[in-house]
Amino acid sequence: MANYRVISECKIAGERYRDGTVSIPPDQAESLVRAGCLVPVRTQAVETATADHSRVERAVSVDQYHRGAGWYEIPGVGKVRGEEAAQRALR
């Protein structure tokens, strides 16, 4: 299973989706991605400190902050250009 963001209304396994994120097998999503209904959610592993100071990896998606044309609006940081810059800003 993989996560995809719905960018235009689509029907998946008999259910209609208008927005949000769906988790479906990549082979099912392939035609919907080509049709422009879904985009893959890209994630990057990020290490964070826990209360006991051990390091834990978690996945952070930058797609939710994408505003178009390569720009990302990161809370507490503002607008940044490029996916790598957005990933750095989220660290």
**6-33 residue pLDDT tens:** 877 888 778 887 777 788 888 888 888 8
Residue 82 belongs to what domain range?
42-91
Residue given tokens 């797609």 in the structure block? 63
Do 20 and 52 belong to one domain?
no
Do 8 and 30 belong to one domain? yes
Whether 8 and 24 map to the same domain: the answer is yes
Neighbours of 52 (CB within 10 A): 5
Same domain, 60 and 90: yes
Tell me the pLDDT tens digit for each residue of 31-82: 888 888 888 877 655 555 555 555 544 456 777 888 888 888 888 888 888 8
